[in-house]
Amino acid sequence: MILIFLIDLVVVVSLILLGHRRVEAALPLFCFYLILMPIESKIVIPGVFDLTTERIAMMTVLTLFVMQKPRGYNGSVPMKRLMFFHVAWAICSTIYSISTATSLKQLIGQVVEYYVLYLVLLRTISSIETVYKIVYSMMLAMSLCCVFGVIEAYAQWSILSIFPSNLWIVYGGPGPLFVEWGRGLRIRSTFPHPILFGDALAMSIPLTVFLLSSPKMSGRRHILWAVLILMLWAIYKTSSRGPWLAVGLSSLLLFLLVRNKVRKYLTVLAVLSVVVLIARPGIWETVENLYKATQDSTNPSGASYEYRNALTNAISGAVRKDIARSLLGYGLGTFREKGLDIDFLGGVRRWYTCDDNWALFIYETGYIGLLIVIMLLAVPLLVALRSYIRLPRPQRYLSAVLFIALLGFSFELLSVAAYAWGQQAFMAWILMGLTISYPNLVARDLRQSAAVTPPLQLALAV
């Protein structure tokens, strides 16, 4: 517990030292902490909630934000109506929850924290330089997570072991290592699960490739190449099919939408990948075996896909039993606590993991809650796509990469409960804040240089 107090102290002091005059200066480090820190780094307050290091960091930055007058976007907050509606609906769902205390805690962690983070970023970021610094700091945090993954893979030791054992998330073994029958050790670094680590890497890889191509990062390309190689190795070691597919699709979109050095770098990476597969045929054999196992319903890897179908059917049946449950769901966080009877593998048993976050939205907050979240995730995607279409080159390319990363996150919600469990959800909301802020910053800079055109006056209020 002393270790956690020391970590929290370092986080608070470092953020105050950087942001006591301008909170904007502390944002890159703040985002670095949000991505790096595991949920095991927390002080448990019995009967109340867990005071995680992420929450400590957020409260520190929020205090600095309130005490100062940030110079970021000062217009009407985009998506504010959707956010208010979602908070109101989540409160109604919490009142009707089968576990009110659990849902109330999740309301703070899954709704309030995300929207506070978004608001602080939107109101504080005043320059494109800060946007790039935030993205770069997140990539550095992910690179450190990859280093922890290297240690995990080759030393059979997890960085999470330094935290009190009663806080560990364990998966059948005596410690925090994730060892799965048929796949062996799957690295998860500081994330709760290997798939969640893979999800974060799937968002980070296109962002890192883009930073490599940016003139603003010309002095850091050696670092970014090392980071990118680490990320590619780490996502392979997660043995997570969804993130692998997301990286492939993201790379294709990146090649099609971004027309600068990104194409050359992607070509280099493709050639290197082929060389590695030829030099290390065991890697291709591992991928091929996993693909074959996916087609076999008697194999755990194949059964996991069958489980998702059974899960969706069970959730649909559960909410159809009661019109109120169809509208309000069973309450945030209740699936993992109460579980659900699912007909799977020839019998009905109680399951406590929901491997499809889109189905989980229905279970927890009903079909209305699902619709609200879809709109919340769709608006930044539409803003990024519209900015890509309207902004001039090369400014438009960052909007394209943000679009790709957020689209990847939305796709990955099909394979695991990634919206409210793990640092990748904070990463997604950071990227949403950057997506909304960025076109306004570009338009302002172009106006100041007398090069703006009417289509750049983006109306982003939603």
| DSSP characters over 300-344 | HHHHHHHHHHHHHHHHHHHHHT-HHHHHH-S-TTHHHHH-EEEEE
SS3 state at 168: coil
Angle, CA of 321, 323 and 328, to the nearest 5°: 105
Q: Which residues contact 395 (CB under 8 A, 6 or more apart)?
A: 442
Q: For residue 175, give the nearest of 185, 161, 187 by alpha carbon.
A: 161
Q: How far apart are CA 89 and CA 289, in angstroms?
A: 45
Kindly state whether residue 155 falls inside one of the protein's structural domains: yes
Give CA–CA dist 253/251, Å, rounded.
Answer: 5
Instruction: Give residue 362's pLDDT.
Output: 95
Q: Are 462 and 237 in contact (CB under 8 A)?
A: no
Q: Which of 137, 131, 91, 125 is nearest to 110 (CA)?
A: 91
CA dihedral 265, 189, 333, 100 (to 10 degrees): -130
In the prediction, which pLDDT does 277 show?
A: 77
- The reply to whether 266 falls in a domain is yes
Structure tokens at 417: 């409960």
The structure's pTM equals 0.92
What pLDDT, on a 0 to 100 scale, did the predictor assign at position 178?
A: 93
Question: What gap in Å lies between CA 53 and CA 51, rounded to an integer?
Answer: 7
Distance CA 171, CA 387 (A): 43
Q: Looking at the domain assignment, is residue 408 inside a domain? A: yes
In the prediction, which pLDDT does 171 show? 85
H or E element at residue 44: strand 42-44
Question: What pLDDT shows up at residue 50?
Answer: 84
Q: Is the residue at 263 inside a domain?
A: yes
Give the domain range for residue 275. Answer: 2-293+356-456
For residue 346, the one-letter residue type is G
Q: Answer whether residue 438 is part of any domain.
A: yes
Alpha carbons 377 and 357: distance in angstroms, whole number: 13
Q: Does residue 330 lie within any of the structural domains?
A: no
Strands (E), 132-245: 179-180, 184-185
In a domain, 308, yes or no: no
* Positions in the chain whose pLDDT score sits under 50: 451-453, 456-462
Q: Name residue 172's amino acid.
A: G
Torsional sign, CA 170, 343, 422, 253: positive
Q: Which of 119, 29, 21, 128 is nearest to 69 (CA)?
A: 21
Q: Helices H, strands E: what count in the chain?
A: 18, 6
Is residue 306 situated within a structural domain?
no
**Best CA proximity match to 363, nearest among 417, 416, 319:** 319
> What angle, 0 to 180 degrees and rounded to 10, lies between the N-to-C axes of helices 113-124 and 27-36?
150
Q: Take residue 350 and report the two structure tokens written for it.
A: 């109680």
**Token pair for 273:** 């990948």
How many domains is the chain built from? 1
**Other CB atoms within 10 Å distance of the CB of residue 432:** 27
For β-strands 184-185 and 179-180, DSSP reports them as antiparallel
Peptide bond into 394 cis (omega under 30): yes
Backbone angles phi, psi at 340, to 5 degrees: -150, 140
